[in-house]
Amino acid sequence: MHGVPRRRRCRLGFQFVTAPTRAKLADGRELLFFSLPGHTPSPVADRRPLPPRQPCQSQLRFDRTTGQWVIIAALRQDRTYKPPPDQCPLCPGPTGMTSEVPAPDYDVVVFENRFPSLSGEGESALRVSEGFASAPGHGRCEVICFSSNHTGSFADLEPAHARLVVDAWRQRTADLMARPGIEQVFCFENRGEEIGVTLSHPHGQIYGYPYLTPRTSAMLGQADEHRKLNGSNLFADLLAWELADGSRVIARTDLFTAFVPFAARWPVEVHIYPNRFVHNVVELEPGELDDFAQVYLDVLRRFDRMYSAPLPYMSALHQFADTDAQREGYFHVELMSIRRSAVALKYLAASESAMDAFISDVTPEDVAQRLRELA
């Protein structure tokens, strides 16, 4: 699969108006600044006495009962856990002594995670050996700070700033997809202490997995089957059916659509699809990028109007490579929340956690109606 991403990488010169400004952290990790027009980042030296980076310490283990890889990353047990606000490692650090971002300010910044679940460059394909099968936990874990404003959130961003985050996602996706051994690039955000977020500064993460994740494999399998039976793309058909039905659509532009899916698993779940088939954010055209940022902000702002406190949520960008194996993959975002009422959360207990059998306490149509009214 290397040919395709490499070609894509070559196109970056004209796809991204401004290349990121690059810097290095004290232990050698990469740091990339993405800036709004007219802003020029001015990184300072990272003068923290960080211990040298360890070679990849995590391991992939193959679970033969499910056919899925599990990442064992014991070093993460010691990661930074809910630091006080004046020690936030994601706020700008003009002295180069206090932060992961040694600079007086920034718009959007991406850097390699200091406590990565996956690191280092691996083989181009994992193989499952006999018996207990394992492999080094190669791959990439990055942090993306959406804003230097510690108390802000993605939903608070100005549209141009949200669009800059989308540009950063594109640049990172193109870069990581081109690397050997990375099979899938996953841009995501976990927001809220309720889902275990240990740093409250608005940020997301970007993973380069060395294998296709189980959910992605399942989706591609379903889409291949659908193509065989119907001669059409599964996700395009789903979008068309949702539009024809209309009862779960919550927002729509000429280029993007947001809806609660028919078989939603979560008490709040919204999917955002481009109206045109593309595999990933890199393939989006400028007008689509604008609409994507606009619809994404619209959905997040509706989320935060649902209850008196900001909604905890997870946001997952489902991206695919333009390869034979992933040909049917249709880029879309899946947003979900565990909040099922003002006072109660949805927990993934034994039915969900042990059997993958999801039980939802709300009807998707009711949730869509509620979200439509929160415009």
User: Whose Cβ is closer to its own copies: residue 18's or residue 66's?
Assistant: 66
102 vs 122, beta carbon nearer its own copies:
122
**Taking the mean position of all CA atoms in its chain, how far away is CA 258?**
17
Binding of its own copies by 213 (CB under 8 A)? yes
Query: How far apart are CB 234 and its own copies at their closest, in Å?
Result: 6
Give the closest residue to 291 by CA, choosing from 162, 173, 205, 156.
Answer: 162
- What kind and span of H or E run contains 174? helix 159-177
Binding residue for its own copies, selected from 190, 253, 275, 294, defined by CB under 8 A: 190
Tokens of 136: 């080094």
Q: Please, which of residues 4-43 interact with its own copies by CB under 8 A?
A: none
Among positions 228, 263, 324, 342, the unique one binding its own copies when judged by CB under 8 A: 263
Q: Give min distance, CB of 256 to its own copies, in A.
A: 18
Q: Which C-beta is closer to its own copies: that of 86 or that of 361?
A: 361
Phi, psi of 215 (to 5 degrees): -65, -40
Instruction: Rule CB under 8 A: say whether 293 interacts with its own copies.
Output: no
Binding mask 91-130 for its own copies (x = CB under 8 A): --------------------------x-------------
Nearer to its own copies, 17 or 349 (CB): 349
Binding its own copies (rule: CB under 8 A), the pick from 55, 81, 127, 324 is 81
| Tokens, residue 12 | 């970056």
In the bound state with its own copies, the residue whose beta carbon lies nearer, of 18 and 222, is: 222
In angstroms, give the least distance from the CB of 141 to its own copies.
10
How many residues contact its own copies, by CB under 8 A? 79
Q: Is 314 in the site for its own copies (CB under 8 A)?
A: yes
Ranges within 322-351 binding its own copies (CB under 8 A): 334, 336, 340-341, 344-351
> Per CB under 8 A, does 357 bind its own copies?
yes
Site stretch for its own copies (CB under 8 A), options 121-129, 147-155, 250-258, 263-271 = 263-271
77 lies in the site for its own copies, by CB under 8 A: yes
Nearest CA to 353 out of 147, 66, 128 is that of 66
Q: Where are the beta strands (DSSP E) in 76-157?
A: 108-112, 134-136, 140-145
Of 57 and 253, CB closest to its own copies: 57
Six-digit token string for 214 = 């189980």
Integer Cα distance of 117 and 99 in angstroms: 21
Distances (CA, A) of 304 to 94, 299, 310, 316: 32, 9, 5, 18
23/270 with CB nearer its own copies: 270
- Of residues 36 through 75, those in contact with its own copies by CB under 8 A are 61-74
Spatial separation of the C-alpha atoms in residues 118 and 208, rounded to whole Å: 8
Question: Is the CB of residue 260 less than 8 Å from the CB of residue 250?
Answer: yes
The C-alpha atoms of residue 66 and residue 345 are separated, in whole angstroms, by 28
Close Cβ partners of 128 (under 8 Å, ≥ 6 residues apart): 62
Site for its own copies in 229-248 (CB under 8 A): 234-235, 238, 241, 245
If one asks whether residue 361 binds its own copies (CB under 8 A), the answer comes out as yes
**Should residue 355 be labelled a site residue for its own copies when binding is judged by CB under 8 A?**
yes
Out of 97, 222, 286, 309, the residue judged to bind its own copies by CB under 8 A: 222
**Residues linked to residue 317 through DSSP beta bridges, in sequence order:** 333
Minimal distance in Å, beta carbon 49 to its own copies?
Answer: 25
How far apart are the C-alpha atoms of 263 and 315, rounded to whole Å? 18
Q: Is 131 in the site for its own copies (CB under 8 A)?
A: yes
| CA distance linking residue 86 with residue 43, whole number of Å | 20
Distance CA 41, CA 44 (A): 10
Asked about 201 being catalytic, the answer comes back as no
Q: Which residues pair with 315 in a beta bridge?
A: 189, 335
**Active-site amino acid positions:** 203
